Structure 1
Amino acid sequence: MITVFLPCRAGSERVPKKNTKPFAGVEGGLLVIKLKELLKVNLVSKIVLSTNDPVVIDIAESLKSNNILIDKRPEALASSSTSTDDLIKYVPEVIKEGHIMWTHVTSPFLDSKVYTEIIEAYLNGLDNGNDSLMTVNKIQTFLWNEEGSLNYDRKIEKWPRTQTLPKLYEVNSGVFINSYENYVKYQDRIGEDPYLFETEGYASFDIDWIEDFNLGEFIYKSLNH
């Protein structure tokens, strides 16, 4: 079974109260949407909600689920300057066994169906030599830096068909799954050979800026009218 690590600190700077402000008419916002979807996933045994925000705690407790465990994260690990590496090192201190799925409330279209597919892909990957999983966006288009093209040779063909270009992958931070043992061994939320799970459509959508929040509300309403 899978234990979820769901970080949800106070003090969002780009979108104030991003995690808990009403979203598309849903009170409790992104946090409520995420918790309700995760609670539907049969392969998830418990959700460790790591937070320093009393509003987050109140909302989580209002759902009255024994599968939601509150981790009151130390303030030293809950600021905008906190290193992700330091938070990763903290995870095996609060989840001490099994498989750990790190995800975020800011991906409202990663629903229970997609989470189930991701977990099943992780478990299948373990049988086929992978040791972890992370979600990615496939990039198969023209990539340049200031010196020119990166993923194709313009001396051979100036504008090749995009489907012939090599596949590259952007880590979208929707989901990371790794074992407790690997967290301790590598001090990382992936191992040495992660399965790359390509999320599609709205599942890749992440809310970072106010423009993302507003667009996300529009999409959510259109999908749930």
Structure 2
Amino acid sequence: MITAFLPCRAGSERVPGKNTKMFSGIKGGLLEVKLNQLLQARLIDRIVVSTNDQEVIDIAKSIDKNIIIDRRPEHLATSATSTDELINYVPSIIKEGHVLWTHVTSPFLTNKVYDQAISTYLKEIETSKYDSLMSVNKIQSFLWNKEGSINYDREVEKWPRTQTISELFEINSGIFLNAVENYNIYGDRIGKKPFMFESEGYASFDIDWPQDFKLGEMIYKTLNEL
């Protein structure tokens, strides 16, 4: 069983009302966009919305009565709550199967992308080469820290072709897929050997700041006018 876990706490600080404020003319905002995407995914069996926000609850119930609402305890829904604390909470509400952890802030992760990720995950864990999956952005460009380049050797070539630079991966927090059993064993939303599921195009877009929200609206509107 694949359960989508969608955390939506009240009190976003960087983008106030981020989960539910109108987005590109959609009254239920990013939450409505995301729930419709999850509902359309063929391989998702159920959806759990974890929240302390009554507006989130009202919107979710209006979209589909089968969406499961987890009224998250307030001590796990503050800006001080760590991701690790929330991870450890998940197995108390999802007891079996596999958890697809996602966020409303990835409005271009469509039902097709979710189905592709789940299919990949189920195939890869059968081989035992990987035990989980997370979505990433592949980075193959000139990256430095304060000491210098970190993914190429300037003693060999100062400005190599980017195609030859070692690949690095940025976790974009769009998808984490893991068995409930691994949550209990490792206390993590990935296992020890996660498969790097590369997001392509707009699927990698994440809304974190007010300017991201505005840009996301423009992209969404343009894509839905095509």
**In the alignment, is residue 189 of structure 1 matched against residue 178 of structure 2?**
no
Give the TM-score of the pair, scaled to structure 1. Answer: 0.98
Q: Which residue of 2 aligns with 1:126?
A: 125
**In the alignment, is residue 54 of structure 1 matched against residue 54 of structure 2?**
yes
Alpha-carbon separation, structure 2, partners of 1:180 and 1:124: 17
> Displacement, 1:42?
1.4
Q: Where does the alignment leave 5 or more consecutive residues of structure 1 unmatched?
A: none
**In the alignment, is residue 77 of structure 1 matched against residue 76 of structure 2?**
yes
Alpha-carbon separation, structure 2, partners of 1:99 and 1:155: 46
* Secondary structure at the counterpart of residue 122 of structure 1: helix
| 1:92-118 per-position Cα deviation (integer Å, ceiling 9, x unaligned) | 000000010000001000010111111
Equivalent runs, 1:25-174 vs 2, <5 Å = 25-66=25-66, 68-128=67-127, 129-174=129-174
Q: Which residue of 1 aligns with 2:15?
A: 15
**In the alignment, is residue 203 of structure 1 matched against residue 203 of structure 2?**
yes
| 1:46-65 per-position Cα deviation (integer Å, ceiling 9, x unaligned) | 10000000000000111133
Alpha-carbon separation, structure 1, partners of 2:63 and 2:214: 25
- More divergent stretch after superposition (124-133 vs 32-41): 124-133
| Number of aligned residue pairs | 224
> Displacement, 1:81?
0.9
Give the TM-score of the pair, scaled to structure 2. Answer: 0.98
Alpha-carbon separation, structure 1, partners of 2:63 and 2:42: 17
Alpha-carbon separation, structure 1, partners of 2:152 and 2:58: 52
> Displacement, 1:152?
1.2
> Displacement, 1:149?
1.1
Q: Which residue of 2 aligns with 1:3?
A: 3
> Displacement, 1:148?
1.1
Q: Which letter does structure 2 place at the counterpart of 1:160?
A: P
> Displacement, 1:147?
1.3
Alpha-carbon separation, structure 2, partners of 1:165 and 1:20: 41
* Secondary structure at the counterpart of residue 224 of structure 1: helix
Alpha-carbon separation, structure 1, partners of 2:208 and 2:149: 29
Taking every aligned residue pair, what percent have the same amino acid on both sides?
66
* Secondary structure at the counterpart of residue 24 of structure 2: coil
> Displacement, 1:146?
1.4
* Secondary structure at the counterpart of residue 44 of structure 1: coil
Alpha-carbon separation, structure 1, partners of 2:170 and 2:161: 20
* Secondary structure at the counterpart of residue 6 of structure 2: strand
| 1:189-213 per-position Cα deviation (integer Å, ceiling 9, x unaligned) | 0000011000011000010110000
